[in-house]
C-alpha cells in the first residue's frame, strides 16, 4: 500500500509540475530560460551551425523538430499544449498560412523592425522574413548576349521556342505571377502568362536546376530559376554534373517595369502558445544579427534580409539585389488567383 501511495503521489507531483510548465507558471521559469522548441520545414541540418552558435552565446538549447508537411495543421491540432515556440518555413506563403490558421502571435520587437524591411514582415508582427532568394533569368553563355531584361520581356515573341521553366503551378512561379497581379492586375498577368507559355521550348516541368541543364543541352536559350540554385550548382555542392550546368549559364537580375526584383523568403513566427516565449524572441532576434545573416548567406546561398549583411561570393556575382517593394503579404493573397490563371491559359499543357 505504501509503495502504491508513493507512486500515486509521485505521479501527481509530475503532473502538477508538467501543468505548471505548460501554463507558464513559476515552475517553468528554468525551462524557459534554458530551451526553445523550433518546428521547421527547413532541414535542421542546414541551419545547425546557426543554432549551435546561438546556444553557445545564450546557453539556450534549441530543440529542432523537422516537419516536412502540414506544419500549420500539426500546431493547430496540438492546441494549447503545443510545445512549439518558433515556427520556421522556407516559403513566405506558408508563413501567411500559419497566421490564417491562428497558430501564431504578434511580436512587437524594435530589433526585428530595424533589421527587416517593412515589405518583408507582417504588418501586425506575426511573421518575419529571415532570408531571401531572387527569381532570376538563366541565359546561355554561348547563344545569348544580354545583360538586362524585365519579367515582362519573357512574353516577347522574340523568345518563341527558347524558354525553359518549371510548372506554372509550382509555388515559385505562382508567387512570381501573384507579384505581377499585385502590381498590374489579373488581365495583364493573364496576357503575360499566355505570352510566356507561347515562348516555351518544352513543357513547363522539372526543377530550376533542370532549366540550367536544358540550356546547356541547347533545348532552350533562357529560363527562369531561383538565385540560390546557382550557388548550389557552381559551388559543386550538387555534384560535378550540376557544376557543369551552373557554369554554362550567365544570370540576369530581372525587374518588373517600374519595380524591383521578385523575391521569395524563408522566415519564422512565434507560436501562439509558446511555452518559452522569452527564448523564442531571443532566437528570432539573434537570427537578424549581422553574424547570423551572413551565416544564412553562406550556408544556403540566400540573400540576407538585413541591409549591408555579407552576401556569399557566388551570389554577389549575380549582381545587386533590389527587391520589389510589393509587400509579401499582398503577393501571398494573390497566389490562388495566379494558380487559377495558370490553369486558365493551360500553362502546363
Percent of the chain with pLDDT over 90: 84
All three cell numbers of 192, joined, read: 503575360
Q: Which residue has the higher pLDDT, 242 or 7?
A: 242
In terms of C-beta distances under 8 Å and separation of at least 24 residues, what long-range contacts does 182-187 make, across chains too? 182/326, 182/330, 182/331, 182/334, 183/256, 183/259, 183/324, 183/326, 186/337, 186/341
Checking if the pLDDT of 12 tops 60, the result is no
Question: What is the pLDDT averaged over residues 86-94?
Answer: 93
Task: Return all residues near 127 (Cβ < 8 A) that are at least 6 apart.
Answer: 92, 95, 96, 98, 99, 104, 121, 267, 268, 269
Torsion of CA 197, 132, 242, 349, to 10 degrees: -20
| CATH number of the structural domain 133-262+322-344 | 3.40.190.10
Q: What is the mean pLDDT of residues 133-146?
A: 96
Q: pLDDT tens digit string along 37-70? A: 999 998 877 788 899 999 999 999 999 999 989 9
Q: Under CATH, to which class is 2-131+264-311 assigned?
A: alpha beta
* Same fold across 2-131+264-311 and 133-262+322-344: yes
pLDDT band, very low/low/confident/very high, at 177 (cuts 50, 70, 90): very high
pTM of the model: 0.85
Q: Tell me what the pLDDT averaged over the chain comes to.
A: 90
- Res. 196: pLDDT tops 50: yes
More confident residue, 49 or 259: 259
Find the mean pLDDT for residues 230-256: 96
State pLDDT tens for residues 216-227.
Answer: 999 999 999 999
Q: What is the mean pLDDT of residues 102-123?
A: 96
Stronger pLDDT, 69 or 192, i.e. the higher one: 192
* Confidence band of 33 (pLDDT split at 50, 70, 90): low
Residue 9 has pLDDT above 70, yes or no: no
Indicate the DSSP class of residue 43. -
Name the band, by pLDDT with cuts 50, 70 and 90, for residue 2: very low
Quick check: 299 and 47 in contact, CB under 8 A? yes
Confidence of residue 25 (pLDDT cuts 50, 70, 90): very low
Residue scoring higher pLDDT (43 or 97): 97
On the question of pLDDT at 239 being above 90, the answer is yes
Extents of the domains making up the chain: 2-131+264-311, 133-262+322-344
Amino acid at each position: 500500500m505504501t509503495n502504491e501511495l508513493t507512486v500515486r503521489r509521485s505521479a501527481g507531483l509530475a503532473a502538477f509540475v508538467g501543468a505548471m510548465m505548460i501554463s507558464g507558471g513559476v515552475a517553468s521559469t528554468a525551462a524557459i530560460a534554458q530551451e526553445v522548441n523550433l518546428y521547421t520545414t527547413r532541414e535542421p541540418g542546414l541551419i545547425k551551425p546557426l543554432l549551435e552558435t546561438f546556444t553557445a552565446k545564450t546557453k539556450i538549447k534549441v530543440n529542432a523538430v523537422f516537419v516536412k508537411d502540414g506544419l500549420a495543421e500539426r500546431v493547430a491540432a496540438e492546441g494549447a499544449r503545443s510545445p512549439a515556440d518558433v515556427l520556421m518555413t522556407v516559403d513566405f506563403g506558408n508563413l501567411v498560412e500559419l497566421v490564417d490558421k491562428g497558430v501564431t502571435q504578434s511580436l512587437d520587437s524594435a530589433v526585428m523592425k530595424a533589421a527587416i524591411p517593412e515589405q518583408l514582415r507582417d504588418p501586425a508582427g506575426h511573421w518575419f522574413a529571415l532570408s531571401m532568394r531572387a527569381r532570376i533569368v538563366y541565359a546561355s553563355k554561348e547563344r545569348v548576349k544580354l545583360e538586362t531584361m524585365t519579367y515582362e520581356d519573357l512574353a516577347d515573341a522574340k523568345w518563341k521556342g527558347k524558354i525553359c521553366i518549371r510548372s506554372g503551378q509550382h509555388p515559385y512561379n505562382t508567387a512570381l505571377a501573384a507579384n505581377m497581379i499585385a502590381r498590374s492586375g489579373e488581365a495583364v498577368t493573364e496576357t503575360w502568362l499566355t505570352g510566356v507559355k507561347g515562348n516555351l521550348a518544352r513543357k513547363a516541368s522539372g526543377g530550376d536546376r533542370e532549366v540550367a541543364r536544358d540550356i546547356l543541352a541547347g533545348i532552350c536559350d533562357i529560363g527562369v530559376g531561383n538565385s540560390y540554385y546557382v550557388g548550389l550548382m557552381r559551388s559543386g555542392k550538387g555534384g560535378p554534373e550540376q557544376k557543369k550546368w551552373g557554369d554554362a549559364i550567365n544570370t540576369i537580375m530581372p525587374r518588373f517595369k517600374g519595380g524591383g526584383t521578385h523575391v521569395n523568403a524563408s522566415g519564422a513566427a512565434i507560436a501562439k502558445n509558446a511555452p518559452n516565449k522569452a527564448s523564442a524572441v531571443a532566437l528570432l532576434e539573434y537570427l537578424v544579427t549581422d553574424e547570423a545573416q551572413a551565416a544564412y548567406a553562406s550556408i544556403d546561398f540566400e540573400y540576407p534580409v538585413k541591409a549591408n549583411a555579407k552576401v556569399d561570393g557566388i551570389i554577389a556575382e549575380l549582381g545587386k539585389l533590389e527587391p520589389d517593394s510589393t509587400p509579401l503579404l499582398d503577393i501571398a493573397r494573390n497566389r490562388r488567383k495566379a494558380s487559377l490563371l495558370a490553369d486558365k491559359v493551360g500553362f502546363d499543357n
